[in-house]
Structures are given as structure tokens and as C-alpha cells.
């Protein structure tokens, strides 16, 4: 069958989704056939990553190559050179990758998975399906310097205990919250609020926004890939996420199977010395079509972590910093004729004693408290039993058949995080309601549905990749506490009510978006985008009359916010080695439930709920440049460099209303939260990656600055620094590979400057600000052994020593109250069967 016949059949089988788009696509058929049958041209693709070679081929041939998935992670190719057709070059480049290609427009090539019928078959009735490692990419500036990826190999080598730990070596990303897993959060480019960093697990929302707690509790052992989209310039994601979006993808059978296998198992054991952590993990999985037209796959896994208290640099051991975590996951899918259905369930549970505010350092028991109560009782008074349950489930459908206009994806997810804390019962001890009272619970639940489609077509002489869809999210916050101090007070509902700073409520968000990547030339693409969000918020009246008093301005009725987010992205491949990027958006953030419905009693000035808050806006710009050098020091080495410059101007930022200057001359109740003057954050990320047969190196640098008009506690006062700016940070790795042994060794360095850009010393009474921090340097070494042949094939061993010189240091975003782990020997051994 000729390429022209195949192309015609694809168009003729299109559903009648759009007569207009279909007619446009049909007019391009002769040109598509001509592009596929074009004459020979000079091709020179260097050895290296497949993604890099695809970009080089696009430049040499004038084609555009689009991906719903790419093999950039760990896929390489030999050098391809000579006179050949574009089709011949693609066949050589994709050989053995489990991918194929087809033309979807005159000058546009789309990569796809091979069908089971096209895959190699064994001697039996069962087809051994190709193992394909996929990662999002190809479209909508996904390769820009503001986008970072951590693949499965890197996740295994990092041996991280939490997602914030895993991401902290990414330029512009900082982990916050101390050493306890339940207290760690993520800051991106100076944005530290929980709603400023959107976190998704297989598409399901995972942000936990409870005060003084962490935001995400997913074990990195479950993940095959993490993508970080720094900034808020994509209309695919809206309403918040000013710092960026973190996209986690969980492992499936396809990611775990050994080459040529249909079923397998995996076991892993690990140890870390700083907290004496023991890790155990196991999984079983399989993928087969059982000789029929339908391909099935499934996987089930369990992970167990248990640790003692953490030893920080210099030898101090933090009390009540131990963790116990158990996670279970199961997922499965089926695929037939371009239709794919996939379901997943992930559940995690942790339980241990710790301080009510999990993002703190040591318990810091005072001498007077110990003298008065004795050490053990004083210790118990500072603790709570913290029981955490985290759940995510998704159901996904995707169609990636022969149609160029219809490439539908749909997803339904249910996710929840529940934290229950109980304080010890001690005679004469009455826990403060400000810390949750005797007992409290906070459960956040999200139901999400999204439907989207991507169409590839030619129009007006230009190639188009249009992505459009609708999304609905229902968010529910269920909170309560038992304030034993007021168990006899009717004003406090006899002790049972929601904390005034953690109100109950729900938000319903309905959104629609469209973005169209237009190839104006083979080297220049422009992507306009537009998003609409409608958000309806509804509070739940507090059960305590003290916080449900109309005279104090308490109003829990519904309120709505709407907004449109326009965006524009540009991509110019100036040369085959050099690409420039630019992104702009006027992003929005709707106030969250805590901001809308928190309140105080009538005895305070700022007692009212804040239903009249306006939407925050972020006028944000990213500009980036990436450059690749091939054959720099040897014939097959590669040096990749990138720089990203960003600017954010946030108007109407929402903050609590406090400070004598902000409350002066107020006679009646005013809202607890309000919109304040604007602030700006700007900076740059820089990365260098070098790889050769024996030497590799990675350098990541991040710098940022920013200022606020006025101060949070005095909006009319002098301008101040923005309070959450991470200091200048550099991560450096230098390593050596011994290919014949499948072994690599490396040195790692973390270099952080002192932070003096803080409002802490810019005026009187800026107690809310973070104190200045000292600079520090932390060193580590690692060894990674991954045998690929022989009886040990499928085994991996990763060993490392973090904080080699046992440095005591307190990161700026830890508020000077939490140091980091000291010298930490880490070892993990895993085996696939």
C-alpha cells in the first residue's frame, strides 16, 4: 500500500466532527503525499538523544515534528549521515524505539506508538509488545528552558523521601518545611503559598493547604516521571499556580518490564543513616494481548518506609521527627484500535507523633517547662498523634487512531488528603485552640473531570496543532476540632467547631481553554491561547456562634469569580542548535476557601469574612534560549545550555489584614483578608548539561529578586523586599562513567549564598518576615551500578553520601527554625525479574 493511499484512507475514515476542518485537511492530501515522496536531501544527524536528532532533522528537511510523547528520556541514536529521503531518515532514526510516524499535514510529522500487529512477534500465539518509555513533549513550547523533567532513572538514583526533596535540585525550585515528611512543601521562583504551586498526580489535584503543614504526600517510589512547568503561561492549567505546575506520572507495567518480557516482578530495599530509615518495595506487573486484538496491562505495588528521629548536621537529633509511611498502588489498562482506557488507584498512610506544626524543627523544650512538668510530660505537651491518609484514583480514556482531527482525551479523578491530630490526655493540660485543640481533623477532597481534543491540520498555508477542552473541579474542605478549653461554652458550641482560620467550604470551577500552535515557517511557531474560568465558592457557617455572628461581619454565603486568561508563546529555531522561546500570560488566581471565609471574633477589628475579595492577576513573562553543541571534546559528546529569564507582576495579592498601621482609624468590622498593593518577582535560571562516553556534568543556577509596594503589615509604608525569595543557589554535579562495567560515580555540590533580601530588617514590627540566613556549601558523592547484561541484568544499586562533611545549615525558607539532615549514607538495591 502506498503512503498516498494510507494518507487518503485516514482522512476518509474521519468522523464528522467538523466538516470545515475535514475539508481543510482533505485539500492538503496531495501536498502530504509529495512531502513523503520528496527527493533525497543531505542528512547529518549527530549521535545522541533521539529528540535532539528529530529537531535537527526538522531543521534540515523543513518539517515540523510533533509529539504527544517523546523518547527524550534515555533514548539515543547512532550518527545518521548521507543522502536520503526524509522517510528513510525517519525509519533509521526510529528503528528499535517502538515508535513510528505519519504525516498529518503538508509539512508536519506526528510520532506514534507502533501497533501490536507491527511489533515483533515471538514463536507463540502471544505478541511480545514493544517497551516504550514516553514523556510529554513536542508541542506547546514543552522543550523550553522553563520546563524541567526528572525521569525514572534520575528518581531511582536520587533516593528521595519526598517530592520536595526530589525537586530541589531543579533550578528555581526550593524545598521548604524542615525534615519531617508531613511538613515539606515546594517553592518555585519565589512563590511559596500552597496554591501558587499546582501539583498533579496522573492528572488528579494533590494540593493540601492546611496551615503549617506540607502540601503533597506522594512517595517518589511510585513515580516514573516528574515534569516541572515553571511559571503560569500555559492556558492548559489555570486559576493559580503562579509559581508553576508539577506533573507527576506513576509507574505502569510498560515502565517496569524487561525487554522481551510480558510479565515481571520487582523488589527493592533501601537504607539511610541520618534517620535510620528502612525502605522496602515490591511490585508485580504484566502486559500482553494474549494473541488477540486487545492489549492488556496491569501493575500492583507496595512501599513501606520507617525511620527514627533525624540527625541534623553537627550531631543534634530532632525530637519527634520519625516517620512511618505505607503506600499501595494498582493500575491497569487496555488498548485496541487506537482506543486506550486506563485506571489507577494510589493510597498512602502515615502515623506518628510530631509537633502540631509539622514544618518546624526540634521541639525546643524550654528549661522552665522541663523543670515544671518533668522532661517526658513537657515533651508530650508539645506533641500530637498525626494520622495522615492520602488517596488518588483516576480513570482515563484516549483515542490516538488514524484521525488527524480527533485525538480525544478524557479523565475523571477523585483525590483526597485527610490529616487527623490528637493531643495526649494529660491531667491539667488544656491544648490551645490555635493549635487544633484536643483533637482536630482536616480533609480536602477533589473531584475532577476534563475532556480535551487535539487537531492537526493546514489552514491558510500554515500548519496548526489546536488543543482545546473543558474542565470541571469540585473541591470540598471538611474541618473540625474539639476545643476542650471551651467544652462548657455555648459560644464555642461546647468545644466542637471549625478553626476560625480553617473554615469549611467548597469551590466549583468550570473552565474552557484553547491553544493553537501555528507553524508560520518550519523554524518559527506562534501559539496563541485563551482560557476562561468560572469559580463559585460556598462557605459553611461555623458551628460556634462566636464565629458565626452577622454583627461581626460573618457571612458564609456563596460568591462567584470569573476571569479570562490570554496567553502567547513563540518558538524560533534560529539554527539547528539554537532555539529561542518567549511566553506571556495574564494569569489569574481566585481566592481560596481559607481566604474567603476565615474570620475572627467581634472583639477584633478585622473580624469579618472576606467574600468581596478580587481575583489576583499575574502579568508574567518567560524568555528563554537553549543551545546545543555536538562533538565539542569528542566525536559523540553533547553540551546543552539553557537560560530562562522570568518576570512576574502580581496585582491584587491577597493577604491577612494585620498590623497597627493597616487597622488604624477603623471603627467597624472589616474583612480578615484583603487585596493589597502589587509585588513583582524577577530572576533567571541557568543550566548546563554535558555528556560523553565517560564524563558527564550538570550545573544548575538560580537567582531571583523582587519587591512589594509597601509592606504586608503596612501597605502605605515604604516598599519592601518580597518575603519568599530564595537566595542565589547553585547545584553542580561532575561524574565519570565506566561503560564496560555499567558504573558511574559522581560528586555533587550545593552552593547557597547568604540571604539579606528580606523585609525583616527594613522597618519596625516586620515580625512576619523571614530572618536573614547565612550562606553554605554542602557536598556529596554517589555511585550508581546498573548491569545491563548477564545474570545481574535487571539489578540496580545506588549508593550515596549526602552532606559529606556533616554541615549544619538552615535554609532561608525554613525561617531559621529547621536545619537539614547531617551526613547521610544512602543505599538502595533493586532487582527486576
Q: Block means of pLDDT (10 residues each) for the chain, length 833 residues?
A: 38 34 35 46 71 71 60 62 77 77 66 57 39 43 86 94 94 93 93 94 91 86 94 94 96 92 96 97 96 96 96 95 95 94 97 90 90 93 95 96 90 97 94 94 97 94 95 98 97 97 97 96 94 98 98 98 97 92 97 97 96 98 94 88 97 95 90 98 97 95 97 93 96 96 97 95 74 96 94 94 97 90 97 95
Distance from C-alpha of 475 to C-alpha of 638, rounded to nearest angstrom? 46
Half-sphere exposure of 729 (CA within 13 A, CB side): 27
User: What pLDDT, on a 0 to 100 scale, did the predictor assign at position 35?
Assistant: 41
Let me know: does 565 contact 530? Beta carbons within 8 Å: yes
C-alpha cell recorded at residue 604:
477584633
User: What pLDDT, on a 0 to 100 scale, did the predictor assign at position 21?
Assistant: 35
Residue with cell 506571556: 584
C-alpha cell recorded at residue 133:
518509555
Element housing 638 (H / E)? strand 638-651
Element housing 476 (H / E)? strand 462-482
| Complete DSSP assignment for 150-202 | EEHHHHHHHT-SSHHHHHTTSTTEEEES-S-GGG-EEEETTB-SGGGEEEEET
User: What pLDDT, on a 0 to 100 scale, did the predictor assign at position 326?
Assistant: 96
Distance from C-alpha of 346 to C-alpha of 259, rounded to nearest angstrom? 26
pTM above the 0.95 mark?
A: no
Let me know: does 12 contact 29? Beta carbons within 8 Å: no
Q: Which sign does the torsion angle of CA 249, 252, 254, 258 carry?
A: positive
User: What pLDDT, on a 0 to 100 scale, did the predictor assign at position 92?
Assistant: 79
How do strand 524-539 and strand 48-49 relate by DSSP bridges? unpaired
User: What pLDDT, on a 0 to 100 scale, did the predictor assign at position 115?
Assistant: 56
Burial class of residue 56, CB neighbours in 10 A (0-12, 13-18, 19+): buried
Region for residue 434 given its phi and psi (left: phi exceeds 0; alpha: psi -120 to 50; beta: otherwise): alpha
SS3 (DSSP) at 792: helix
User: What pLDDT, on a 0 to 100 scale, did the predictor assign at position 43?
Assistant: 78
Element housing 93 (H / E)? helix 86-94
CA 198 to chain CA mean position, Å: 7
User: What pLDDT, on a 0 to 100 scale, did the predictor assign at position 143?
Assistant: 78
User: What pLDDT, on a 0 to 100 scale, did the predictor assign at position 765?
Assistant: 62
How do strand 695-708 and strand 720-721 relate by DSSP bridges? antiparallel
C-alpha cell recorded at residue 528:
496563541
User: What pLDDT, on a 0 to 100 scale, did the predictor assign at position 636?
Assistant: 81
- Angle of helix 3-12 versus helix 29-36 axis, rounded to 10: 150
Task: Give how far Cα 636 sits from Cα of 630, 693, 745, Å.
Answer: 7, 7, 20
Amino acid at each position: 500500500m502506498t503512503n498516498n493511499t494510507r494518507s487518503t484512507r485516514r482522512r476518509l475514515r474521519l468522523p464528522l466532527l467538523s466538516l470545515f476542518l475535514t475539508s481543510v485537511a482533505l485539500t492538503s492530501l496531495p501536498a502530504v503525499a509529495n512531502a513523503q515522496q520528496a527527493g533525497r536531501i543531505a542528512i547529518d544527524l549527530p549521535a545522541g538523544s533521539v529528540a535532539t536528532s528529530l529537531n535537527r532533522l526538522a531543521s534540515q528537511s523543513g518539517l515540523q515534528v510533533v509529539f504527544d510523547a517523546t523518547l527524550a528520556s534515555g533514548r539515543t541514536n547512532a550518527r545518521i549521515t548521507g543522502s536520503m529521503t526524509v522517510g528513510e531518515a525517519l525509519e533509521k532514526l526510529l528503528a528499535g524505539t517502538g515508535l513510528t510516524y505519519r504525516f498529518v499535514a503538508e509539512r508536519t510529522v506526528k510520532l506514534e506508538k507502533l501497533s501490536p500487529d507491527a511489533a515483533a512477534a515471538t514463536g507463540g500465539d502471544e505478541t511480545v509488545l514493544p517497551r516504550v518509555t514516553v514523556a510529554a513533549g513536542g508541542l506547546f513550547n514543552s522543550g523550553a528552558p522553563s520546563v524541567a523533567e526528572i525521569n525514572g532513572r534520575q528518581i531511582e538514583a536520587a533516593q528521595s523521601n519526598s517530592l520536595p526533596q526530589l525537586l530541589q535540585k531543579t533550578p528555581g525550585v526550593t524545598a521548604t518545611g524542615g525534615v519531617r515528611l508531613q511538613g515539606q512543601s515546594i517553592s518555585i521562583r519565589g512563590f511559596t503559598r500552597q496554591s501558587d504551586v499546582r501539583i498533579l498526580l496522573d492528572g488528579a489535584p494533590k494540593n493540601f493547604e492546611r496551615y503549617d503543614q506540607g502540601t503533597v504526600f506522594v512517595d517518589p517510589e511510585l513515580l516514573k516521571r516528574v515534569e516541572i512547568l515553571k511559571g503560569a503561561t500555559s492556558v492548559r492549567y489555570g486559576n493559580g499556580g503562579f509559581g508553576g505546575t508539577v506533573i507527576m506520572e506513576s509507574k505502569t507495567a510498560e515502565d517496569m518490564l524487561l525487554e522481551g518480557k510480558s510479565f515481571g516482578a520487582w523488589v527493592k530495599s533501601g537504607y539511610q543513616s541520618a534517620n535510620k530509615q528502612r525502605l522496602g518495595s515490591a511490585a508485580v506487573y504484566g502486559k500482553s494481548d494474549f494473541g488477540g486484538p486487545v492489549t492488556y496491562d496491569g501493575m500492583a505495588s507496595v512501599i513501606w518506609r520507617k525511620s527514627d528521629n533525624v540527625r541534623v548536621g553537627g550531631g543534634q537529633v530532632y525530637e519527634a521527627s520519625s516517620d512511618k509511611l505505607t503506600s499501595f498502588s494498582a493500575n491497569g489498562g487496555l488498548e485496541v484500535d487506537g482506543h486506550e482506557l486506563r485506571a489507577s488507584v494510589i493510597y498512602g498512610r502515615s502515623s506518628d507523633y510530631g509537633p502540631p506544626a509539622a514544618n518546624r524543627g526540634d521541639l525546643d523544650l524550654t528549661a522552665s517547662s522541663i523543670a515544671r512538668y518533668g522532661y517526658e510530660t513537657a515533651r508530650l505537651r508539645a506533641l500530637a498523634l498525626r494520622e495522615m491518609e492520602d488517596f488518588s484514583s483516576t480513570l482515563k480514556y484516549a483515542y490516538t487512531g488514524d484521525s488527524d482531527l480527533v485525538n480525544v482525551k478524557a479523565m475523571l479523578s477523585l483525590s483526597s488528603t485527610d490529616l487527623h491530630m490528637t493531643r495526649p490526655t494529660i491531667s491539667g493540660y488544656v491544648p490551645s485552640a490555635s493549635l487544633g485543640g484536643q483533637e482536630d481533623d482536616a480533609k480536602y477532597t477533589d473531584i475532577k473531570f476534563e475532556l480535551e481534543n487535539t487537531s492537526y491540520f493546514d489552514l491558510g498555508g500554515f500548519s496548526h496543532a489546536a488543543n482545546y477542552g473543558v474542565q470541571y473541579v469540585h473541591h470540598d474542605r471538611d474541618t473540625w476540632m474539639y476545643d476542650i478549653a471551651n467544652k462548657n461554652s455555648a459560644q464555642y458550641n461546647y468545644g466542637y467547631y471549625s478553626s476560625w482560620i480553617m473554615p469549611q467550604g467548597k469551590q466549583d470551577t468550570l473552565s474552557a481553554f484553547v491553544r493553537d500552535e501555528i507553524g508560520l515557517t518550519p523554524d518559527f511557531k506562534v501559539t496563541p491561547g485563551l482560557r476562561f474560568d468560572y469559580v463559585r465558592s460556598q462557605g459553611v457557617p461555623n458551628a460556634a456562634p462566636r464565629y458565626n455572628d452577622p454583627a461581626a461581619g460573618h457571612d458564609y454565603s456563596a460568591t462567584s469569580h470569573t476571569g479570562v486568561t490570554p496567553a502567547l508563546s513563540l518558538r524560533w529555531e534560529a539554527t539547528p542548535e539554537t532555539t529561542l522561546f518567549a511566553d506571556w500570560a495574564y494569569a489569574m488566581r481566585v481566592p481560596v476557601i481559607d481566604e474567603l471565609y476565615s474570620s475572627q471574633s467581634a472583639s477584633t477589628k478585622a473580624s469579618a469574612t472576606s467574600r468581596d475579595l478580587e481575583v489576583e492577576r499575574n502579568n508574567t513573562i518567560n524568555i528563554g534560549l537553549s543551545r546545543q553543541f555536538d562533538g565539542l571534546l569528542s566525536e559523540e559528546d553533547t553540551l546543552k545550555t539553557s537560560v530562562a529569564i522570568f518576570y512576574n507582576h502580581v496585582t491584587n495579592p491577597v493577604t491577612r489584614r494585620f498590623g497597627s498601621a493597616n487597622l488604624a482609624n477603623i471603627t467597624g468590622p472589616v474583612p480578615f483578608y484583603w487585596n493589597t498593593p502589587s509585588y513583582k518577582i524577577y530572576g533567571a535560571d541557568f543550566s548546563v548539561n554535558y555528556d560523553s562516553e565517560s564524563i558527564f556534568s550538570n550545573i544548575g543556577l538560580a537567582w531571583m529578586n523582587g519587591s512589594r509596594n509597601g509592606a504586608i503589615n503596612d501597605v502605605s509604608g515604604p516598599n519592601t523586599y518580597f518575603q519568599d525569595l530564595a537566595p542565589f543557589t547553585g547545584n553542580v554535579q561532575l561524574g565519570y562513567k565506566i561503560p564496560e562495567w555499567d558504573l558511574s560515580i559522581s560528586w555533587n555540590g550545593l552552593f547557597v549564598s547568604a540571604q539579606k533580601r528580606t523585609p525583616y530588617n527594613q522597618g519596625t514590627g516586620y515580625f512576619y518576615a523571614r530572618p536573614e540566613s547565612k550562606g553554605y556549601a554542602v557536598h556529596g558523592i554517589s555511585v550508581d551500578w546498573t548491569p545491563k547484561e548477564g545474570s545481574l541484568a535487571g539489578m540496580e544499586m545506588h549508593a550515596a553520601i549526602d552532606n559529606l562533611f556533616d554541615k549544619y545549615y538552615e535554609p532561608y525558607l525554613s525561617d531559621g527554625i529547621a536545619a537539614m539532615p547531617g551526613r547521610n549514607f544512602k543505599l538502595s538495591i533493586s532487582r527486576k525479574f
